[in-house]
Amino acid sequence: MFTEFLVILLSVFIILNIVFCFVVVFFERKNPAVTWAWLMVLTFLPVIGFIVYLIFGFDGKKSYKFIRKAKNDDILFELYDKQIKKYENNINDFTDAQKSIVNLNKCSSNSMLYCDNSVKMFHEGKSKFKSMLEDIKNAKSYIHMEYYIIRNDTLGETIINALAEKAAAGVEVKFLVDGIGNMLNSKKLYQPLIKAGGKVEIFLPPYFFRINYRDHRKICVIDGKYGYIGGLNIGNEYLGIVKRFNFWRDTHLRIEGSCLKELELRFIADWNFASKNVIKPDIKYFPDIKFKGDKKIQIVSSGPDSHYDSIRHCYFKMMTYAKKSIYVQTPYFVPNDSILEALRTSALSGVDVRIMIPNNPDHPFVYWASLSYLGELLNAGVKCYKYKNGFIHSKVVTIDSEICSVGTANMDIRSFSLNFEVNAFIFDNQLSEELNKEFYNDLKYCDEILYDEYKKRSNIVKIKESFSRLISPML
């Protein structure tokens, strides 16, 4: 009897595997590389692969849910367009590359160009959070924050308590956090803020431990006057005081300028998706302020709720227009074919292409996959580096010292297609040069990956790279 039961059970699993393979191929309509990766997992790991697919791969109601969000976002943006002052800036003095990218962003994500911004850059966490806490302290009307991660630690409690103090004083405080990024947080972390009258919402709660479609954005807008965007989440590790990583190298922006209207619109759209307590159209979120800056910025969002992979398209366009240099800093380098070809073609045509990743990875499979892709680029003349002074988490791209991008999107497939991301694309020589200067400073703490040495790597390393690259579309 027991043997017959095992045979029946095995038959059921085989049938389920066939069914799920059928679903992956014919109904999910994934990228072919992703499809083959999942078929391999489902075929060779019948039970474990089934569970892993449910957690990481199954789309479920993704299409309906995010198509509906995209339509609602379009309605919201059109509604606000009638109320807030947007203006078309003259780009006659722009280079051809700059004009092309501005037009691309406008067409693919309806991102306006604003030319009156001031920008302060932070290259580590302590100064960024000191500045943000000061701006929170001075808030008069509202504070809107959206973060992938807030840790239940000293910094997390400090931020929540500062927000609670403002909420108790009558300032509107809304905090949107991602479901998976904050899955382990106790509700006690948010209680001081909620008791003071602030609002906290969860973006896509982690039902069935779904990993995909995470809100990876980091947004803070205060009174329509000050805004923050970049790579830093909220937690002690981002201050560089956690032993595992020690120094945490990141890039974040503090912006004063009209481009904050786009950042605020993004927050409102995401909040209204996550909350039943929607934010209704109100001009108070877009005060008419005369900003005195001269930095030209577009705020570009992309994700499952966008019509195009706008950030990936802009990265690609930047790389194909580069004539002198392309510098990339990213914690995860798992590019799709178009980005890989753009980097390789640029390097072969004489452009100085340099890519920096961490030496101390937080995701081993992604690290080995990254080395595989970098190894492929080395032969084309791309210079690749591993950062050793702690952990580098910056998401920065610069080309020709005239265009740069700072935001939340990594140079990987997950950021391009699966996560909700937001970047600031800046058309300014001074800020691009500042980022290039920091890149060169970081090189002091890097080991260059030399092609001759890379070819001598052990068979074990080759196996790790090959396996990680094979499953990289799923990472």
**Is 393 among the catalytic positions?**
yes
**Is 455 among the catalytic positions?**
no
* DSSP conformational letter for 187: G
Query: Higher-confidence residue: 212 or 279?
Result: 279
Q: Is the pLDDT of residue 295 over 50?
A: yes
Q: Lowest-confidence range among 7-16, 207-216, 291-300, 385-394?
A: 7-16
Q: Of 166, 225, 313, 395, which is the active-site residue?
A: 395
- If pLDDT is split at 50, 70 and 90, which confidence band does 434 have? very high
Measured at the CA of 271, the angle between CA 178 and CA 89, to 5 degrees, comes to: 110
Q: Do 358 and 331 form a contact (C-beta atoms < 8 A)?
A: yes
The per-residue pLDDT for range 146-171, each reduced to its tens digit, is 999 999 999 999 999 999 999 999 99
**Is 400 among the catalytic positions?**
yes
Run of H or E including 109: helix 96-109
The backbone torsions φ and ψ at residue 200, rounded to the nearest 5 degrees and listed phi first, read -130, 130
Q: Of 174, 225, 393, 464, which is the active-site residue?
A: 393
Run of H or E including 235: none
Q: Of 174, 218, 225, 386, which is the active-site residue?
A: 218
Helix spans in 379-450 (H): 413, 429-442
Beta pairing class for 352-358 and 383-387: parallel
Q: Is the pLDDT of residue 114 over 80?
A: yes
Q: Lowest-confidence range among 61-70, 110-119, 350-359, 391-400?
A: 61-70
For 26, counting Cβ atoms within 10 Å of its Cβ (0-12 exposed, 13-18 middle, 19+ buried), the class is: exposed
- If pLDDT is split at 50, 70 and 90, which confidence band does 258 have? very high
Q: Do 204 and 178 form a contact (C-beta atoms < 8 A)?
A: yes
Q: Of 73, 135, 178, 223, which is the active-site residue?
A: 223
Query: How confident is the model at residue 1, as a pLDDT?
Result: 59
Q: Lowest-confidence range among 34-48, 137-151, 321-335?
A: 34-48
Run of H or E including 366: helix 364-378
Q: Of 30, 144, 216, 252, which is the active-site residue?
A: 216
The per-residue pLDDT for range 324-341, each reduced to its tens digit, is 999 999 999 999 999 999
**Is 59 among the catalytic positions?**
no
The model carries a pTM of 0.89
Q: Do 182 and 233 form a contact (C-beta atoms < 8 A)?
A: no
**Is 276 among the catalytic positions?**
no
Q: Of 135, 400, 428, 442, which is the active-site residue?
A: 400
The token duo for 212 is 């995909």
CA distances from 408 to 180, 231, 299 (A): 16, 5, 12
The per-residue pLDDT for range 214-228, each reduced to its tens digit, is 999 999 999 999 999
Q: What is the mean pLDDT of residues 337-357?
A: 97
Q: Lowest-confidence range among 9-18, 70-79, 271-280?
A: 9-18
- If pLDDT is split at 50, 70 and 90, which confidence band does 64 have? confident
